[in-house]
Structure 1
Protein backbone atom coordinates (compact mmCIF):
# COMPACT_ATOMS: atom_id res chain seq x y z
CA UNK A 1 0.00 0.00 0.00
CA UNK A 2 1.44 3.36 -0.96
CA UNK A 3 1.50 6.32 1.37
CA UNK A 4 0.63 9.93 0.77
CA UNK A 5 2.76 12.89 1.75
CA UNK A 6 0.29 13.56 4.58
CA UNK A 7 1.62 10.37 6.23
CA UNK A 8 5.30 11.39 6.29
CA UNK A 9 5.41 15.20 6.10
CA UNK A 10 6.49 17.45 8.93
CA UNK A 11 3.35 19.34 9.86
CA UNK A 12 4.72 22.17 11.99
CA UNK A 13 6.43 24.30 9.35
CA UNK A 14 8.26 27.49 10.19
CA UNK A 15 7.58 30.24 7.65
CA UNK A 16 8.69 33.81 7.08
CA UNK A 17 6.80 36.73 5.62
CA UNK A 18 8.01 38.14 2.31
CA UNK A 19 8.59 41.55 3.96
CA UNK A 20 10.94 40.21 6.64
CA UNK A 21 14.71 40.66 6.24
CA UNK A 22 17.16 37.98 5.22
CA UNK A 23 18.74 38.39 8.65
CA UNK A 24 15.41 37.43 10.27
CA UNK A 25 15.11 34.41 7.96
CA UNK A 26 18.68 33.34 8.74
CA UNK A 27 17.95 33.66 12.48
CA UNK A 28 14.90 31.36 12.14
CA UNK A 29 17.00 28.87 10.15
CA UNK A 30 19.70 28.97 12.83
CA UNK A 31 17.26 28.60 15.73
CA UNK A 32 15.44 25.62 14.22
CA UNK A 33 18.43 24.11 12.36
CA UNK A 34 16.69 24.17 8.98
CA UNK A 35 17.92 25.17 5.54
CA UNK A 36 14.73 26.27 3.79
CA UNK A 37 11.74 28.37 4.73
CA UNK A 38 8.49 28.76 2.85
CA UNK A 39 7.73 32.44 2.29
CA UNK A 40 4.16 33.59 2.86
CA UNK A 41 2.30 36.82 2.22
CA UNK A 42 0.07 38.64 4.70
CA UNK A 43 -2.79 36.24 3.83
CA UNK A 44 -0.65 33.24 4.70
CA UNK A 45 -0.44 32.10 1.07
CA UNK A 46 2.86 30.58 0.00
CA UNK A 47 4.56 32.95 -2.44
CA UNK A 48 8.04 31.49 -2.51
CA UNK A 49 10.79 29.66 -0.70
CA UNK A 50 14.11 30.91 0.64
CA UNK A 51 17.08 28.67 1.36
CA UNK A 52 20.32 29.21 3.19
CA UNK A 53 21.96 28.99 -0.23
CA UNK A 54 19.71 31.77 -1.60
CA UNK A 55 20.81 34.00 1.26
CA UNK A 56 24.47 33.20 0.66
CA UNK A 57 24.45 33.62 -3.12
CA UNK A 58 21.88 36.40 -3.56
CA UNK A 59 22.68 38.50 -0.50
CA UNK A 60 26.08 37.89 1.07
CA UNK A 61 27.97 37.17 -2.17
CA UNK A 62 26.41 40.24 -3.80
CA UNK A 63 27.35 42.53 -0.92
CA UNK A 64 23.70 43.15 -0.04
CA UNK A 65 22.55 44.22 3.39
CA UNK A 66 21.28 41.82 6.04
CA UNK A 67 18.16 44.00 6.00
CA UNK A 68 17.39 43.08 2.37
CA UNK A 69 13.75 41.91 2.17
CA UNK A 70 13.27 38.18 1.62
CA UNK A 71 11.13 39.00 -1.42
CA UNK A 72 14.33 40.07 -3.22
CA UNK A 73 16.23 36.84 -2.66
CA UNK A 74 13.58 34.11 -2.50
CA UNK A 75 12.69 31.75 -5.31
CA UNK A 76 9.22 32.84 -6.36
CA UNK A 77 8.73 31.54 -9.88
CA UNK A 78 7.46 28.00 -10.22
CA UNK A 79 8.12 26.88 -6.67
CA UNK A 80 7.86 23.10 -6.84
CA UNK A 81 5.29 21.85 -4.37
CA UNK A 82 3.29 18.80 -3.46
CA UNK A 83 -0.13 18.22 -1.97
CA UNK A 84 -1.03 16.18 1.12
CA UNK A 85 -2.67 13.55 -1.09
CA UNK A 86 0.32 13.19 -3.44
CA UNK A 87 1.78 9.68 -3.52
CA UNK A 88 5.21 9.41 -1.89
CA UNK A 89 6.62 7.71 -5.01
CA UNK A 90 5.46 10.66 -7.16
CA UNK A 91 7.02 13.10 -4.70
CA UNK A 92 10.36 11.27 -4.80
CA UNK A 93 10.34 11.36 -8.62
CA UNK A 94 9.43 15.06 -8.62
CA UNK A 95 12.23 15.88 -6.18
CA UNK A 96 14.71 13.97 -8.35
CA UNK A 97 13.55 15.63 -11.58
CA UNK A 98 13.62 19.12 -10.08
CA UNK A 99 16.83 18.49 -8.12
CA UNK A 100 15.37 19.63 -4.81
CA UNK A 101 15.94 18.27 -1.32
CA UNK A 102 12.81 19.73 0.28
CA UNK A 103 9.25 19.76 -0.99
CA UNK A 104 6.69 22.18 0.47
CA UNK A 105 3.25 20.59 0.88
CA UNK A 106 0.47 23.03 0.01
CA UNK A 107 -3.31 22.80 0.30
CA UNK A 108 -5.62 25.68 -0.67
CA UNK A 109 -2.52 27.86 -1.23
CA UNK A 110 -1.56 27.42 2.44
CA UNK A 111 1.60 25.62 3.53
CA UNK A 112 0.54 22.55 5.52
CA UNK A 113 3.78 20.58 5.64
CA UNK A 114 7.28 19.96 4.37
CA UNK A 115 8.87 16.75 3.12
CA UNK A 116 12.64 16.44 3.10
CA UNK A 117 14.74 13.81 1.39
CA UNK A 118 15.53 12.51 4.87
CA UNK A 119 11.82 11.86 5.48
CA UNK A 120 11.87 9.49 2.50
CA UNK A 121 15.12 7.87 3.56
CA UNK A 122 13.84 6.88 7.02
CA UNK A 123 10.81 5.17 5.52
CA UNK A 124 12.34 1.80 4.67
CA UNK A 125 10.13 1.19 1.64
CA UNK A 126 11.26 4.51 0.12
CA UNK A 127 14.99 4.22 0.88
CA UNK A 128 15.80 3.28 -2.74
CA UNK A 129 13.80 6.21 -4.09
CA UNK A 130 15.50 8.59 -1.67
CA UNK A 131 18.86 7.26 -2.84
CA UNK A 132 17.89 7.68 -6.50
CA UNK A 133 16.56 11.18 -5.84
CA UNK A 134 19.75 12.16 -4.04
CA UNK A 135 21.92 10.89 -6.86
CA UNK A 136 19.86 12.96 -9.34
CA UNK A 137 19.98 16.01 -7.08
CA UNK A 138 23.72 15.63 -6.57
CA UNK A 139 24.39 15.58 -10.31
CA UNK A 140 25.56 19.07 -11.19
CA UNK A 141 23.33 21.01 -13.50
CA UNK A 142 24.61 23.69 -15.84
CA UNK A 143 25.70 26.86 -14.01
CA UNK A 144 23.13 29.61 -14.04
CA UNK A 145 24.18 32.70 -15.88
Structure 2
Protein backbone atom coordinates (compact mmCIF):
# COMPACT_ATOMS: atom_id res chain seq x y z
CA UNK A 1 0.00 0.00 0.00
CA UNK A 2 1.27 3.45 -0.88
CA UNK A 3 2.25 5.85 1.84
CA UNK A 4 2.21 9.63 1.98
CA UNK A 5 5.99 9.62 1.45
CA UNK A 6 5.45 8.00 -1.96
CA UNK A 7 3.33 10.87 -3.28
CA UNK A 8 4.26 13.97 -1.25
CA UNK A 9 5.84 17.08 -2.72
CA UNK A 10 9.29 17.67 -1.24
CA UNK A 11 10.14 21.00 -2.85
CA UNK A 12 8.19 23.17 -0.45
CA UNK A 13 7.85 26.95 -0.42
CA UNK A 14 7.92 28.09 3.21
CA UNK A 15 7.94 31.30 5.23
CA UNK A 16 9.16 32.12 8.72
CA UNK A 17 7.68 34.15 11.53
CA UNK A 18 9.90 37.04 10.34
CA UNK A 19 7.94 37.33 7.08
CA UNK A 20 4.89 39.52 6.63
CA UNK A 21 1.61 38.96 4.82
CA UNK A 22 2.70 40.89 1.73
CA UNK A 23 5.70 38.56 1.36
CA UNK A 24 3.41 35.54 1.74
CA UNK A 25 1.01 36.85 -0.91
CA UNK A 26 3.93 37.50 -3.25
CA UNK A 27 5.27 33.96 -2.79
CA UNK A 28 1.81 32.54 -3.41
CA UNK A 29 1.58 34.50 -6.64
CA UNK A 30 5.11 33.65 -7.79
CA UNK A 31 4.67 29.92 -7.17
CA UNK A 32 0.95 29.72 -8.06
CA UNK A 33 0.06 28.19 -4.69
CA UNK A 34 -2.53 28.87 -2.00
CA UNK A 35 -0.83 27.20 0.96
CA UNK A 36 2.49 27.95 2.67
CA UNK A 37 3.87 26.24 5.77
CA UNK A 38 5.39 28.50 8.44
CA UNK A 39 8.63 27.10 9.85
CA UNK A 40 11.27 27.88 12.43
CA UNK A 41 14.35 26.14 11.08
CA UNK A 42 12.63 23.09 9.63
CA UNK A 43 10.06 22.75 12.42
CA UNK A 44 6.45 23.35 11.36
CA UNK A 45 4.86 26.07 13.52
CA UNK A 46 1.82 26.90 11.41
CA UNK A 47 0.40 27.31 7.93
CA UNK A 48 -1.04 30.16 5.91
CA UNK A 49 -3.63 29.68 3.18
CA UNK A 50 -4.84 32.20 0.66
CA UNK A 51 -8.09 32.21 2.63
CA UNK A 52 -6.18 33.08 5.83
CA UNK A 53 -4.67 36.08 4.04
CA UNK A 54 -8.08 37.32 2.98
CA UNK A 55 -10.13 36.54 6.10
CA UNK A 56 -7.60 37.18 8.86
CA UNK A 57 -5.44 39.66 6.99
CA UNK A 58 -6.90 41.99 4.43
CA UNK A 59 -10.55 41.71 5.53
CA UNK A 60 -9.43 42.69 9.03
CA UNK A 61 -7.70 45.70 7.42
CA UNK A 62 -4.20 44.53 8.31
CA UNK A 63 -1.49 46.14 6.22
CA UNK A 64 0.94 44.16 4.10
CA UNK A 65 3.56 44.60 6.81
CA UNK A 66 1.47 42.63 9.32
CA UNK A 67 3.40 39.72 10.83
CA UNK A 68 2.76 36.15 9.72
CA UNK A 69 1.61 35.11 13.19
CA UNK A 70 -1.42 37.42 12.89
CA UNK A 71 -2.91 35.38 10.03
CA UNK A 72 -1.44 31.89 10.28
CA UNK A 73 -3.25 28.82 11.51
CA UNK A 74 -1.16 27.42 14.31
CA UNK A 75 -3.41 25.74 16.85
CA UNK A 76 -5.34 23.61 14.38
CA UNK A 77 -2.58 22.46 12.03
CA UNK A 78 -2.97 18.80 11.20
CA UNK A 79 0.20 17.10 10.04
CA UNK A 80 0.95 13.48 9.24
CA UNK A 81 3.95 11.15 9.36
CA UNK A 82 5.44 9.95 6.06
CA UNK A 83 4.43 6.39 6.94
CA UNK A 84 0.69 7.15 6.91
CA UNK A 85 -1.10 5.32 4.10
CA UNK A 86 -2.59 7.32 1.29
CA UNK A 87 -6.02 5.92 2.18
CA UNK A 88 -5.65 7.17 5.77
CA UNK A 89 -4.53 10.59 4.51
CA UNK A 90 -7.54 10.82 2.18
CA UNK A 91 -9.89 9.97 5.03
CA UNK A 92 -8.20 12.52 7.31
CA UNK A 93 -8.54 15.21 4.64
CA UNK A 94 -12.21 14.42 4.16
CA UNK A 95 -12.95 14.32 7.89
CA UNK A 96 -11.22 17.65 8.57
CA UNK A 97 -12.22 19.42 5.33
CA UNK A 98 -8.63 20.12 4.33
CA UNK A 99 -6.93 19.91 0.96
CA UNK A 100 -3.29 19.84 2.05
CA UNK A 101 -1.38 17.98 4.75
CA UNK A 102 2.11 18.89 5.95
CA UNK A 103 4.26 15.77 6.33
CA UNK A 104 6.43 15.84 9.46
CA UNK A 105 9.16 13.46 10.59
CA UNK A 106 11.26 13.95 13.73
CA UNK A 107 9.55 17.33 14.27
CA UNK A 108 10.74 18.55 10.86
CA UNK A 109 8.67 19.42 7.80
CA UNK A 110 9.72 17.08 5.01
CA UNK A 111 6.88 17.42 2.53
CA UNK A 112 3.31 18.34 1.74
CA UNK A 113 0.63 16.12 0.28
CA UNK A 114 -2.30 17.76 -1.49
CA UNK A 115 -5.63 16.37 -2.59
CA UNK A 116 -4.32 16.68 -6.15
CA UNK A 117 -1.39 14.40 -5.31
CA UNK A 118 -3.91 11.70 -4.46
CA UNK A 119 -5.55 12.08 -7.86
CA UNK A 120 -2.31 11.92 -9.89
CA UNK A 121 -1.96 8.19 -9.40
CA UNK A 122 -4.81 6.43 -11.22
CA UNK A 123 -5.15 3.85 -8.43
CA UNK A 124 -5.78 6.67 -6.02
CA UNK A 125 -8.36 8.56 -8.08
CA UNK A 126 -11.27 6.97 -6.24
CA UNK A 127 -9.78 7.84 -2.84
CA UNK A 128 -9.05 11.41 -3.94
CA UNK A 129 -12.51 11.79 -5.44
CA UNK A 130 -14.11 10.52 -2.25
CA UNK A 131 -12.02 12.87 -0.09
CA UNK A 132 -12.80 15.86 -2.32
CA UNK A 133 -16.51 14.98 -2.35
CA UNK A 134 -16.54 14.81 1.44
CA UNK A 135 -14.74 18.16 1.73
CA UNK A 136 -17.09 19.80 -0.77
CA UNK A 137 -20.21 18.38 0.87
CA UNK A 138 -19.17 19.53 4.35
CA UNK A 139 -18.29 22.97 2.95
CA UNK A 140 -21.75 23.26 1.37
CA UNK A 141 -23.36 22.35 4.69
CA UNK A 142 -21.22 24.93 6.48
CA UNK A 143 -22.27 27.75 4.15
CA UNK A 144 -25.88 26.59 3.86
CA UNK A 145 -25.94 25.48 0.20
CA UNK A 146 -28.05 22.46 -0.77
Equivalent residue, structure 1, for 2:52: 54
Equivalent residue, structure 1, for 2:113: 115
Task: Name the structure with the higher helix share.
Answer: 2
Which of 84, 87, 92 lines up with 2:85 in the alignment? 87
Cα distance in 2 for residues equivalent to 1:137 and 1:125: 20
Displacement after TM superposition at 1:108 (Å): 1.3
Please tell me the root mean square deviation across aligned C-alpha atoms, in Å. Answer: 1.1
Equivalent residue, structure 2, for 1:101: 99
After superposition, where does 1:1-145 map in structure 2 within 5 Å?
Answer: 2-41=1-40, 43-139=41-137, 140=139, 141-142=141-142
TM-score, normalised via structure 2 length = 0.92
1:20-63 residue CA offsets vs partner (Å, 9 max, x unmatched): 1001111111111111000012x331100000110011111111
Displacement after TM superposition at 1:19 (Å): 2.2
Equivalent residues, number: 141
- Superposed structure 1 runs of 4+ greater than 4 Å apart: none
Cα distance in 1 for residues equivalent to 2:105 and 2:28: 23
1:79-112 residue CA offsets vs partner (Å, 9 max, x unmatched): 1111111111100000000100011101111110
TM-score, normalised via structure 1 length = 0.93
Q: Which runs of 5+ in 1 are unaligned?
A: none
Displacement after TM superposition at 1:4 (Å): 0.8
